[in-house]
Homo-oligomer: A and B are copies of this chain.
Amino acid sequence: MTYTFAPIGVIRSCFPDKFGIPRQPRLVTAARARLELLPGFNREEAFAEIVGFSHIWIVFVFHDCLGEGWKPRVRPPRLGGRKTVGVFASRAPYRPNPIGISAVELIGIERSARGLALHLRGVDLLDGTPVLDIKPYVPYADAIPEARGGFAPSAPDHRWPIAFAPQAERQIAAADPSGARELRLLITQVLAQDPRPGYMDRYPERRRFVMRLYDLEITWQVQTDGILVTEIAQPNHSNSQCGAELGPIGGGDRDGDNLGDASVGRERPKCNG
């Protein structure tokens, strides 16, 4: 017996790549997304009263992991990528049925000529993620603050100090003149969590990375006392420092240690969501 589902919507988020996606929802409050409803589900009445809920569940497909199979054991980043746990004791994306659930903040509903869309905040969802269902977050049923959280008992408490080079500050102002994208806050929150895969401590010489947020390439360096953002570029207008040669994930692929392997262990993917 199998069950076949068709998406009801698609996520348009600030995360075009896996690299940089928060490991759980709401860790990066500035991470925004639009959930665009597909034809047939683009009906306002199907969302009546939803704005009474501050948060909603997004039930989605880890579409970027499809066809890659699953492994019974994964390496959660919370355990430094060194210890394995069972896939069902993790939120890793490479699951027998690659379905994710994510509780995010509902900001509002947009009705436009393009159709109906939900505005979300605090997402950990890859741009293009197919959405199978939307449910209200019902605190009396869903919130169990006293639950015992195994190897992830609380949010990661380490936050890297983030600094911006003067050039990067100017480029942020130019790329986000109205501040609508909360770009400085978004970059700070994403980098403060250290998006590097756990295996990066095997590459101590690698200190320069590029990640994409929206249509921008963010170049940053790991320093002894924190992370320095050096450049914000739009690829269409990029200079040689933002070329594809760095790649969003950096040296991993070149060393045969690809992101896929590293992201298997994530409680929440780098892989889509």
Among the 9-residue stretches A145-153, A174-182, A236-244, A245-253, the one with 4 or more Cβ atoms under 8 Å from chain B is: A145-153
> Which of B25, B88, B151, B154 contacts A46 (CB under 8 A)?
B88
Please tell me how many copies of the chain the complex holds: 2
CB-CB contacts of A14-54 with B at 8 A, as 1s and 0s?
00000000001110000000000000110101111110111
Which residues does chain B contribute within 8 Å of A66, judged by CB atoms?
Answer: 3
CB-CB contacts of A86-98 with B at 8 A, as 1s and 0s?
1111110001110
Q: Does A231 contact B (CB under 8 A)?
A: no
Across the interface, do B45 and A73 meet the contact criterion of CB distance under 8 Å? yes
Across the interface, do A89 and B7 meet the contact criterion of CB distance under 8 Å? no
Which residues does chain B contribute within 8 Å of A165, judged by CB atoms?
Answer: none
CB-CB contacts of A47-83 with B at 8 A, as 1s and 0s?
1111011110101010000100000110000000000
Across the interface, do B135 and A88 meet the contact criterion of CB distance under 8 Å? yes
Across the interface, do B86 and A147 meet the contact criterion of CB distance under 8 Å? no
Tell whether A133 pairs with B26 under 8 Å between CB atoms, given A86-B50, A144-B103. Answer: no
> Which of B87, B90, B132 contacts A97 (CB under 8 A)?
B132
Which residues does chain B contribute within 8 Å of A24, judged by CB atoms?
Answer: 138, 140-141
Which residues does chain B contribute within 8 Å of A48, judged by CB atoms?
Answer: 73, 84-86, 89
CB-CB contacts of A107-147 with B at 8 A, as 1s and 0s?
00000000000000000000000101111111111111111
Interchain CA distance A45-B87 in the complex, whole Å: 8
Q: Does A267 contact B (CB under 8 A)?
A: yes
Closest to A54 in B: B148
Interchain CA distance A66-B5 in the complex, whole Å: 11
Chain B nearest CB from A17 CB (Å) reads 21
Across the interface, do B103 and A142 meet the contact criterion of CB distance under 8 Å? yes
Chain B nearest CB from A113 CB (Å) reads 21
Q: Does A4 contact B (CB under 8 A)?
A: yes
Which residues does chain B contribute within 8 Å of A140, judged by CB atoms?
Answer: 24, 149, 152-155
Which residues does chain B contribute within 8 Å of A224, judged by CB atoms?
Answer: none
Interchain CA distance A234-B224 in the complex, whole Å: 71
Chain B nearest CB from A142 CB (Å) reads 6
Interchain CA distance A145-B95 in the complex, whole Å: 28
A-to-B contact residues, CB < 8 Å: 1-8, 24-26, 40-41, 43, 45-50, 52-55, 57, 59, 61, 66, 72-73, 84-91, 95-97, 99, 101, 103, 130, 132-155, 267-268
Top 4 A-B pairs, shortest CB-CB distance = A52-B150, A54-B148, A24-B141, A50-B89
